[in-house]
Amino acid sequence: MNKLKVSIIGGGSWGTTVASLLAQNTDVSLWARSPETVEEINRDHTNRKYLPDAILPDTLFASTDLAKVTEFADVLVMGVPSNSFRSVLTEVRPYLRPWVPVISLTKGLEKESDLRMTQVIEQELPRHPVGVLTGPNLAREIVAGQAAASVIATEDDNIAKELQKVFNHGVFRVYTNDDVVGCELGGVLKNIIAIAVGMGIGLGAGDNTRSALITRGLAEITRLGVALGGRAETFAGLAGMGDLLATCISPQSRNHQVGVQLGKGRSIEQIISEMVMVAEGVKSAPTVIRLAQKQGIEMPIAADVLNVIEGRKTPQQTFEGLLGRKVGAEYD
C-alpha cells in the first residue's frame, strides 16, 4: 500500500513536532515562511528557534514553496496561528486537490468572525473533510519521545480511523472522537483558564488555589462548550480536562507563563513583546467572552482574565474579586 503524503503548514514548535512524528510513519513535507528555518530543517535536521534540543528525522522535507508542499498532499495539516489561519488557507487553495482532508492544530478562534478554525476551513475550502488534532500535547516533551495522548476528531469515522493510523506513533497514542466542536473548543477555552492559574502562581498562591481554579475553570469551559454544540463528556476527556491540566500546570505552556508574568506585575505588552511563539489565550479571550454573552453563559474566571489583559483590573484585584464572589450550589 502506498504511503499517504502529508503536508504540514507551519514551522513553529507544534507544527514541527507533528511533522517529526508523522515523518516516522509516512511521507511528510513541511511549509514554513522563513528560508532560514527551512534551510536548517533540511541541512541540520533541527529547528532550534522553536525546539532547541530536538533532532528531526532526516526524511522530513521542508520548503518555502507552498505549491511544492501541497499539490500532491493526501492530507493537509494546518499549524499556523489563528490570526493568519485564513490568509494562509487562501494561499493554499489553488494547489490543494479536491476532497483532501484538512486537519487543524491551532487552538484559537478567529478574532473578526468568532469562528473556530474548522469553520474557517469549511468557508475557505468547501467540500474538504475537516478535523482537529488536540489534547494535552506539550511539543518539547513529545518531540523528545515522552509518552502522550491526543485526539483526532472528525465527523467521518472512516476518515478518523485512517488518520489515526497516520498520527499514532510509538508512545504518542491517538484516539478518535466525532465531537469536532467539543474537542476544538476544549483546546481553545483552556488557554484562558491557564492564564488565570498562572496569575495565581505569580501572586504566590498555593496548590489549593490552583486546584480550585482548574476545577471551576473546567465548569466554565463545559458550560460554554455544551451551549455551542459540544458534548459534556468531551470536556471530561483528553481534549477537555487533559489539555486543561497540562496547560495549567506546565511551565512549558505559553499561556501559563503569560499568567505568571501578569501576576508578577508585568504588562501584557511587555510579556508579548518577548515571546517567540503566540499565546492563543490572550487573543481568544475577547472572542470567548462575546460568545458567552451571546449564549447567556457566566464565565467569571475568563471574564476576569480579560479584564486583566485589557488593563481594567490588576491580578490582585481579580483574585480578591473571585474570593469575594457569591457562592451557590456546585453544579448549578
CA torsion through residues 180, 223, 244, 195, sign: positive
Query: Which residue ranges make up each domain of the chain?
Result: 5-178, 186-324
Q: Render each residue's pLDDT in the chain as its tens digit; 332 residues.
A: 468 999 999 999 999 999 999 999 999 999 999 999 999 999 999 999 999 999 999 999 999 999 999 999 999 999 999 999 999 999 999 999 999 999 999 999 999 999 999 999 999 999 999 999 999 999 999 999 999 999 999 999 999 999 999 999 889 999 999 999 999 999 999 999 999 999 999 999 889 989 999 999 999 999 999 999 999 999 999 999 999 999 999 999 999 999 999 999 999 999 988 887 778 889 999 999 999 999 999 999 999 999 999 999 999 888 776 655 665 566 65
Q: Which of 3, 68, 107, 190 is catalytic?
A: 190
- Amino acid 1: pLDDT: 45
- Amino acid 320: pLDDT: 77
Q: Which residues contact 331 (CB under 8 A, 6 or more apart)?
A: none
HSE-CB for 270 with a 13 A CA cutoff: 10
81 phi, psi to nearest 5 deg: -60, 160
**How many Å apart are CA 136 and CA 245, to the nearest integer?**
8
C-alpha cell at 228: 455551542
Contact 120, 83 (CB under 8 A): no
Q: How many CB atoms lie within 10 A of CB 46?
A: 17
Type of residue numbered 240:
G
Fold designation for 186-324? N-(1-d-carboxylethyl)-l-norvaline Dehydrogenase; domain 2 (1.10.1040)
What is the distance, to the nearest Å, from the Cα of residue 287 to the centroid of all Cα atoms in its chain? 15
**How many Å apart are CA 4 and CA 2, to the nearest integer?**
6
Name 162's bridge partners: none
The CATH number of 5-178, from 3.40.190.10, 3.30.70.100, 3.40.50.720, 3.40.50.11780, is 3.40.50.720
Active site residue 49: no
**What 3-state DSSP class applies to 148?**
strand
Contact 159, 129 (CB under 8 A): yes
- Amino acid 314: pLDDT: 92
- Amino acid 281: pLDDT: 87
pLDDT digits (tens, 9 = 90+) for 59-114: 999 999 999 999 999 999 999 999 999 999 999 999 999 999 999 999 999 999 99
pTM: 0.93
**Helical segments of the chain, H only:** 13-22, 35-44, 66-70, 82-92, 117-124, 139-143, 157-167, 180-202, 207-227, 243-249, 254-263, 268-273, 280-295, 300-309, 315-324
